[in-house]
Amino acid sequence: MTLKHGLKENLMLKLSISKQAQKFLDDLPPKQFRQVVKKVFALMENPTPHDSKELKGYPFLRNDIGEYRIVYDVKEDVLRIIVAGKRNDSEVYKKI
C-alpha cells in the first residue's frame, strides 16, 4: 500500500510452517531457537534480503542463520517455511 509522499506501509507477511520445520524448531536449544525465529520474523518483513538465494532446481529461496538453513517461499501474502535444518546437511534437501 502506498501512503502519502510515495512511502510504502510496512506490511508483514503471514506465516506458515511445515510440520518438519516446526519439529526442527521445537528440538533446537533455546539460544539457537531465538536466532532462527528472529530470522523468520525478519523474513516476514522482508522476504528477499540480500543474503537470501534462490535454491537451484526448486522454486524456493534459502537463507542461512549461523549453522542453520531455512528453505522458504512466498505465496501471495504468506511466508511458507518449507524446511529447516543444519546448513551442511544434505538431509535438509531430501525433505523438500
Percent of the chain with pLDDT over 70: 81
pLDDT at 18 over 70: yes
Beta bridge partners of 84: 70
DSSP 8-state secondary structure symbol assigned to residue 59: S
Question: If you average pLDDT over residues 9-38, what whole number do you get?
Answer: 91
Please tell me the distance from the alpha carbon of residue 11 to that of residue 3, in angstroms, as a whole number. 12
Q: Give the confidence band of 90 by pLDDT, cuts at 50, 70, 90.
A: low
Does residue 45 carry a pLDDT above 70?
Answer: yes
Q: What angle do CA 60, 64, 69 make, to 5 degrees?
A: 65
What's the mean per-residue pLDDT of the chain? 86
Give me 26's grid cell. 521445537
* Domains, the chain, with CATH or none: 10-94 (3.30.2310.20)
**pLDDT value for 87:** 76
